[in-house]
Amino acid sequence: MADTKVFLLDGGSLVLDGFHIWWNKGPGGEVRFPVYSVLVDHPKGKFLIDTGYDFDHVQKVLPFEKPQQTGQQTIPGALKLLGLEPRDIDVVFNSHFHFDHVGGNKFFPDAKKICHKDELPQAARCQPFEVLGYSDLAFSTEVAEARGMSDQLTMGQTGANTKYELIEGDVELAPGVTLVYTPGHTVGHYSLLVEFDNRRPLLLTLDAAYTRKNYDNDINAGFHIDPVAGVNSMRRLKQIEKEKNAEVLFSHDPESFKDYKTGVNFYG
- Which residues of this protein are in contact with Zn ion, per CB under 5 A? 98, 207
Active site residue 17: no
Specify the length of the chain in residues.
268
CB nearer to Zn ion: pick between 203 and 225: 225
CB nearer to Zn ion: pick between 176 and 230: 230
- Residue 133 C-beta: closest distance to Zn ion, Å: 6
Contact status, residue 45 vs residue 89, Cβ threshold 8 Å: no
Residue among 100, 136, 207, 253 flagged as catalytic: 100
- Residue 185 C-beta: closest distance to Zn ion, Å: 6
What residue number has its CB nearest to Zn ion? 98
- Residue 94 C-beta: closest distance to Zn ion, Å: 10
Q: How many CB atoms lie within 10 A of CB 213?
A: 16
CB nearer to Zn ion: pick between 118 and 195: 118
CB nearer to Zn ion: pick between 10 and 119: 119
d(CA 111, CA 37): 16
- Residue 96 C-beta: closest distance to Zn ion, Å: 6
> Which amino acids are annotated catalytic?
100
